Amino acid sequence: MFAFFNIHSMCQIAMYFSNDSVKPYHQSPTPATSNDTIEPGRWLCPSPEEKNMKTSILVIDDSRVARQQVIDILQQNTLFQYFYEAGDGIEGFKIAINQPVDLIICDVEMPGMDGFKFLRMLESREELQDVPVIMVTGREDTEAKVRGLEQGASDYVTKPFDPAELLARVKVQLKIKSLQDKLKRSNQMLLELSITDPLTGLHNRRAMMESLQKEVHRTARKKTPLSLVMLDIDHFKKINDTYGHQNGDAVLKAIGAELTAQLRQYDIAARFGGEEFVLILPETDIKEATQVAERLRQNIASLRFEAELANLEITVSLGVASTQNKIVKSTDDLIREADYALYNAKRGGRNRVEVMTGF
Ligand code: GH3
Ligand code: MG
Ligand code: MG
Ligand code: MG
């Protein structure tokens, strides 16, 4: 399927897609003051937009004094705009699932849910698995350090805190988190590019074939029919020859937009190739699919363009097939039948809808 990359191999791609150098964190001109961070589980309430932009940290420790020490050290820098506090793992976990948190500093020894249990809870939530956790251990407590790292902590600091060391470790984790976030965005972008037809923004042929496979299986399980409409622009070569390739592209885009406008929630529109398009219509029988195709035909025939293309009238031919007919046993059968119906529409004079044989 799609190729994805780990953080090391993707750093360069992340840099490529990023239009600035890697800056691991936002710096606000107005950092939160210590008055902003008071009771465990309470915090300043940022708006949703602000939450997306600002960097936040969650400090979990049963000792209020220890929490405040961490916050005091971090507030000397403008690394974080929001500070959340919790007195044990459960309270911390509640905050972590409700607020976007960029980094967690968590004490190991706490009554109620301790640091190790908290790590396990974080692991159980997919959306929290990438949040770095720095564990707070005793200076000599090697066992806790090792156990924390083995259970998914990113790093540890020891009490009493050395401010410079705490800051340095926090900065490293923020930098890694920032790179990971960029990597995720890049992967998402690559995924979208790999399934999209760049001209029309519709699914490309490969993505359409994958979706069709899935939908055919899903609708077979549900015992509902799935229909497929194949559409081909009539005499498109002539449009290119008369108005030029760029205008031809504009027509393809307009058809793509028309298909998109017709989509219902679970329908999929794709560019199958050149000037051929496909509509996948799950849970749709042949009658409904034919109505969709006929509506598309009429809408496209009434499309009007501007400037050079003011006199242009486009028509399309469409073929409709459905898994409702028992001779259709696979995606290939479905495509072949729709293609054959389309061929009949062309033979029958174009600008028309034809249905597969057997209905
Ligand atoms: P018919 O009614 O039989 O379908 O005739 P047609 O001219 O539409 O079909 P034909 O297969 O002869 O020509 C299709 C044309 O589509 C030829 C090709 O240059 C053009 N084409 C394919 N992809 C693109 C594209 O991305 N942009 C443009 N502008 N033209 C394309
Ligand atoms: Mg403690
Ligand atoms: Mg064609
Ligand atoms: Mg054509």
248 lines ligand 1 (CB under 6 A): yes
Q: Return the pLDDT at 37.
A: 36
What is the residue-wise DSSP string for 186-238?
Answer: HHHHHHHHHHB-TTT-SB-HHHHHHHHHHHHHHHHHHT---EEEEEEETTHHH
CA-nearest residue for atom 11, ligand 1, is 237
Q: How many domains does the chain have?
A: 2
Q: Return the pLDDT at 232.
A: 98
85 lines ligand 1 (CB under 6 A): no
Atom nearest to 237 CA in ligand 1? 7
71 and 168, same domain (yes or no): yes
Atom nearest to 238 CA in ligand 1? 7
Which residues have CB less than 5 Å away from ligand 2 (the ion)?
62, 107, 109-110
Q: At what angle do helices 115-123 and 89-98 cross, to 10 degrees?
A: 30
Kindly give the residue spans of alpha helices, DSSP state H, lying in the chain.
7-17, 48-53, 64-75, 89-98, 115-123, 142-150, 163-195, 205-222, 236-243, 245-262, 286-301, 331-347
Q: Return the pLDDT at 78.
A: 85
Judge contact between 48 and 98, C-beta under 8 A: no
Q: Which residues are within 8 A (CB) of 84 and not within 5 positions of it... i.e. 6 or more apart?
A: 37, 41, 43, 56, 57, 58, 59, 95, 99, 101
Q: How many A from CA of 291 to the centre of ligand 3?
A: 22
165, 194, 223: which is the final residue of a domain? Answer: 194
Q: How many A from CA of 277 to the centre of ligand 1?
A: 12
126 and 171, same domain (yes or no): yes
164, 194, 224: which is the final residue of a domain? Answer: 194
How much is the average pLDDT of 90-107? Answer: 96
49 and 168, same domain (yes or no): yes
CA-nearest residue for atom 6, ligand 1, is 235
Task: Quote the mean pLDDT of the chain.
Answer: 86
213 and 285, same domain (yes or no): yes
How much is the average pLDDT of 247-269? Answer: 95
How much is the average pLDDT of 85-109? Answer: 95
Q: Return the pLDDT at 150.
A: 93
Print the domain residue range for 221: 205-355
89 and 165, same domain (yes or no): yes
CA-nearest residue for atom 21, ligand 1, is 274
Q: Is the model's pLDDT at 50 over the cut of 80?
A: no
User: What are 161-220's pLDDT values in tens digits?
Assistant: 899 999 999 999 999 999 999 999 999 999 999 999 999 999 999 999 999 999 999 998
280 and 180, same domain (yes or no): no
Q: What is the pTM of this model?
A: 0.69
185 and 91, same domain (yes or no): yes
Q: Return the pLDDT at 358.
A: 84
